[in-house]
Amino acid sequence: MRVDAQKNQKLLDQFKFLRRILVLPLEPYAGEFADQKGLIIDDLTITVEKADGDLMFRQGGNIGLGEISYFFGTKGDRKDQIGKQGEYLFAVDAADRIIRRVDWPRNREEARGKHPIYGYHALWGKDLGNRHLTDCLYDKVKFLVWVTVSTWHESTKNADQPFGKVCTRLMQITVYGQPEEGFAILKENSSVYGNLYLSNDVLIGGSLNKDRDIITINGHLGELCHSFQEDVYFNGMKKILDKGKYRGASGQFGPASVLAAEMCGYDRVMLQDNTCWVTYQLRPGGRNMYVLGCGGTLPQLRRLTRSVIEAWRNPENHKKFQPDKEVSVI
């Protein structure tokens, strides 16, 4: 909605620090920001939530900042448009002063070889790198403010210079209030193993950087994959897929959807519900599946996979998994 919409104005009046954030030069711009035109905000969304463990281990997702990467639209007003995105986290004290700002690496090149930056870093005054944080701000921070800035551009269809004219610049702001137990206890009760959102970028980047936590998490995912292949895939699911009229099948097991298909000779099975997804894949002639991709926390992915395994133990549920000509798996 517009910046001057009544709902936005009420929140801007309630949280005085937001007006300071609105005028900061945050990438991506709508053009050259020196004359302030690049800082125009065509659409502003503000929400208010309580800080939780997932925020403590949240990571920014920058897209198209200093590299050729983008998200894209496929229909409606966004058809033939592509976008950039920048994310930031601010810590605000009781006097509405911004006392800490967290910036994530602008792109993969800047992130290479560095330890990950998480949301809880905003609760420390200085980040010296290599997991060394100093000047604790637990008792000073009143709010944490997550900001996502995005721009939609005309697509030039040119792979080397894909971004054309800016169509619109949007800002999404979430104000996180201090939890009842305080930020110190919240961080203490949070864990990278329970709250970190896992994606291919997180898992691959962590492995390349030899991050011990990510390497351990990869081991947990590998064990989940092994359980799925032994208890489900090689225990009847592959047989149904092989005998089907189409080289694709799908089924619904409670809240969990299961999609399976052959992709360029690889057997691919995707599990998903309304909280997360994971895809397990088998190479041609292979005997061991592996995690192709995922999106969710480790507990969510564990719960999803185990729910499908448990449902599959009932032979009657095998009938729910049927050939599907239209199935598509990512």
Tell me the pLDDT tens digit for each residue of 133-169: 999 999 999 999 999 999 999 999 999 999 999 999 9
In one letter, which amino acid is 37? K
CA distance linking residue 102 with residue 119, whole number of Å: 8
Please compute the mean of the pLDDT values over residues 163-183 and round it to a whole number. Answer: 96
Of residues 263 and 299, the one with the higher pLDDT is 299
Please compute the mean of the pLDDT values over residues 119-133 and round it to a whole number. Answer: 89
pLDDT tens, position by position, 310-325: 999 999 999 999 998 8
Residues of the chain with pLDDT > 90, as a percent, come to: 78
Please compute the mean of the pLDDT values over residues 179-200 and round it to a whole number. Answer: 96
Is residue 132's pLDDT more than 70? yes
151 Cβ contact list (under 8 Å, min separation 6): 28, 29, 30, 83, 84, 166, 167, 168, 169, 170
pLDDT of residue 246: 80
- Residue 128: pLDDT band (50, 70, 90) is confident
Single pTM value for the model = 0.90
Can you say how many angstroms the Cα of residue 135 is from the centroid of all Cα atoms in its chain? 29
Return the minimum-mean-pLDDT range out of 23-37, 192-206, 235-249.
23-37
Mean pLDDT across the chain: 93
Is residue 328's pLDDT more than 80? no
Buried b (16+ CB within 10 A) or exposed e, 252-279: ebeebbbbbbbeeeebbbbbbbeebbbb
pLDDT of residue 34: 67
- As given in the structure block, the two tokens for residue 179 are 């939890």
Please compute the mean of the pLDDT values over residues 249-262 and round it to a whole number. Answer: 96
pLDDT of residue 325: 83
User: Looking at the chain, which runs of residues are DSSP E strands?
Assistant: 43-50, 71-72, 81-93, 98-103, 124-127, 133-136, 141-155, 163-177, 248-253, 256-263, 266-272, 277-282, 290-295, 322-323
Residues of the chain with pLDDT > 70, as a percent, come to: 100
User: CB of 144 within 8 A of CB of 91?
Assistant: yes
Is residue 289's pLDDT more than 70? yes
28: preceding bond cis by omega (within 30 degrees): yes
User: CB of 46 within 8 A of CB of 173?
Assistant: yes
Is residue 33's pLDDT more than 80? no
CB-side neighbour CA atoms (13 Å) of 214: 18
